[in-house]
Chain A
Amino acid sequence: MNTVYFLFQQTMFFMIPLMIVALGGMYSERSGVINIALEGIMIMGGFSGILFINRMQDTMSGQGLLLLALLVSAVSGMIYSLLHAYASVNMKADQTISGTALNLLAPAFAIYTARLIQPSHVQQINFTNTFRVEKVPVLGDIPVIGNLLFQNTYITTYIGFAILIIAAVVLYKTRFGLRLRSCGEHPQAADAVGISVYGIRYAGVMISGALAGMGGLIFIIPTSTNFNATVSGYGFLALAVLIFGQWNPWKIAGAALFFGLMKTVSAAYSSIPFLMSLNITGYVYKMIPYIATLVVLVFSSRSSQAPKAEGIPYDKGAR
């Protein structure tokens, strides 16, 4: 049973950042802008958040510091995503190219800045992890559920689920959500009834920037002890989660859970007695999340629910 608890807790560490970033991508794509830059934005968010923790950890620690760092990550991710918004909304640029440029820029910027400002001139930024919650009072004592969800955890898990609920409510139950979806499906019609397509698309990209920035930090904290200018391709995995989740928040949560589980199997196969006894080389397990992605994409891409106007720059004069 302990193995099951351990695996579930590990799965949460992988699932939550994937889900948050994919939800961010959902906001951008539902407004009509493809955001392949999620990887780069995650790196920017992780970089600024960890740098903030690195600088402040002498004077602060614990959950307060983590919350502030999350805010820093969200804001820097949002600012960084403005570059993408400007290129794809105002300049009508090719959104894939602009996203690729941001993906190239982020790690270079993170390494350059880290080596410039750190006295040791190394590219890794270290941090002390004071954020782990051993056991949530009261809730952690509930049998089974307490073990699964309220022990050996981070507050980011609960923030993640809160974001999921808020994201779904905003998308489906508010005026803004309706406008966002209409801009992704038929911007000309949205414009005709007086919705600012440019404004909505900016909002969509900026929300994705804030969420991806936070996701970068949330990914780094439980899985590493320093930031080395990479988020291990999580931004790209989040894109796959987004497609597998068919641009729908609840399905995205399910897809993220699936990938989190696959990733856990690949990272922790040596502590699962059954898999260890199979005696398969570790490389096969490392490949599992990516192979699983390919397989599920084959089944989910045929009947794609992608927003209709996704990736097409809005041109007022177009017929």
Chain B
Amino acid sequence: MKEQRSIIKTLAAPDISKAAGAISSIIAIAVGLIFGFFIMLISDPQQAWAGFKMILTGGLSSGKDFGNVLYYATPIIMTGLSVAFAFKTSLFNIGASGQFIMGAYGAVLVGVKLSSLGQIQWFVALLAAMVFGAVWAILPGVLKAFFNVNEVISCIMLNYIGMYTVNMLVKETVFHQYTNRSLPVAETANIPKMGLDKLFPESMVGGGIIVAIIVAIIMAIILNKTTFGYELKACGINRSAARYAGINEKKSIILAMVFSGALAGIGGGLLYLSGTGIYITVVDTMAPQGFDGISVALLGMSNPIGALFAGLFIAYITVGGSKMQLVGFVPEIISIITAIIIYCAAFSLMIRNFFVDRRMRKLNKQDEEESVKKETLKSPPEGDSKGGGNV
């Protein structure tokens, strides 16, 4: 009986920890929203409730709004998957911004130059985005694996270098002089709408979200069902143990970064091939989607499906936040809420441990009670009428 219990415990532990992780994410979201509400209450008590209601419901108020939620979610789901993938090998890919804009450039380059490809042009452009993003992530991977360079610092440096490189390349290859931005891509380079424009009329949504969902599922399969994914996760949990078990940890680090960069690159491609009149502008600001990806990955607990929902959630409150301007609020409140959520998510380990501990203690207590019961059953004290009949 006791053995059975302990087997149940070992089997149940990851489930408990997963459930507790979801609970801690929900707690973090609740705290962030409440905090945001308080800030709104302080800045404008009369309109606070109206504004807050818009954050909560704005994304669902019409089909167009929900379509836009899907549209905004697409790139940050991809950068979120990118950051989450690197997290699995315990690498912090803060460089998704640079990889994202690199991918965007690759997509726009193919989209402008190779219109002879015809119907498959969008697919080729998306592949180019993937390759550009992946190439941009090789360097931090190699530096980490062979020179022990902290990937956070090298990724941040590569964000700046990537931003300036793309500005330079856009100016030299696909530049539209008067608007200071890239040339429009060919019609065939835009990702097909896949019927979503009929489903959510007037919104900006397109096939990109479907590509993102497919990629998330592929990523979940790679991580959970392949040897490659297992090796990456093993490296993430304990690098020395992984090496001792015969896993080439240098190769794993580099490949994890390359995959991560490829995901961010696809994100850049999906945004700039969405056919919504968006161009690479030549300004010295970094792509914010890369940093949103960090929030998405943390909120989604580095899980591909979790990242999918986290991206939808952040896009949802962003759409709500932009509607909130109608009643006179500054949309930066959304960034504040997201930051608070991430801050609380940093505590998730503590919250998770609390839940797991409590559950374990409960199971242990049941064990003890049972063994005590057994003891009493085996050797009933003389004259005790309680267990006498059973023996």
User: Residues of A with Cβ closer than 8 Å to B?
Assistant: 36, 83, 87, 91-94, 96-98, 100-102, 104-105, 107-109, 111-112, 115-116, 233, 236, 239-240, 243, 281, 283-284, 286-287, 290-291, 293-294, 297-298, 301-302, 304
Contacts and interface: CB of A to CB of B under 8 A. Distances in A.
Contacts of A281: 168
B294 A298 contact: no
B157 A97 contact: no
A243 B153 contact: yes
Contact of A111 (B94, B294, B330, B343): B330
Given A98-B346, A239-B152, A286-B164, 8 more contacts: A87-B347, A93-B349, A101-B345, A240-B153, A243-B153, A287-B164, A290-B158, A301-B150
A112 B336 contact: yes
B148 interface: yes
A287 B165 contact: yes
A233 B160 contact: yes
B168 A104 contact: no
B190 interface: no
B153 A92 contact: no
A265 B147 CA distance: 27
7 contacts: A91-B350, A97-B298, A102-B343, A104-B339, A107-B335, A239-B152, A297-B153
A27 B363 CA distance: 44
B29 interface: no
A112 B334 CA distance: 10
Nearest to A107: B335
A112 B332 contact: yes
Contact of B152 (A93, A96, A98, A286): A96
B199 interface: no
Contacts of B161: 287, 290-291, 294
Contacts of A91: 346-347, 350
Which applies to chain B's interface (DSSP): helix, strand, loop or mixed? helix
A111 B332 CA distance: 7
Given A116-B330, A297-B154, A97 B342 contact: yes
Interface in B321-367: 330, 332-333, 335-336, 338-340, 342-343, 345-347, 349-350
A181 B147 CA distance: 26
Contact of B343 (A98, A108, A240): A98
A100 B294 contact: yes
B332 A93 contact: no
B120 interface: no
Of A96, A294, A302, chain B has the most CB atoms within 10 Å of the CB of A294
Interface of B: 39, 43, 92, 94, 139, 143, 147-150, 152-154, 156-158, 160-161, 164-165, 167-168, 284, 291, 294-295, 298, 330, 332-333, 335-336, 338-340, 342-343, 345-347, 349-350
The 8 closest A-B pairs by CB, nearest first: A108-B335, A105-B339, A101-B343, A93-B346, A104-B339, A101-B342, A97-B346, A283-B168
Given A93-B347, A115-B330, A281-B168, A293 B339 contact: no
Contact of A87 (B139, B154, B338, B343): B343
B350 A97 contact: no
Contacts of A115: 330, 332
A243 to B, nearest CB: 6
A36 to B, nearest CB: 7
A211 B348 CA distance: 30
A60 B33 CA distance: 40
Contacts of A294: 139, 143, 149, 154, 157-158, 161
A298 B143 contact: yes
A290 B157 contact: yes
Contacts of B156: 233, 236, 239-240
Contacts of B147: 297-298, 301-302
Contacts of A107: 335
Contact of B160 (A96, A98, A100, A287): A287
A1 to B, nearest CB: 32
Contacts of A111: 330, 332
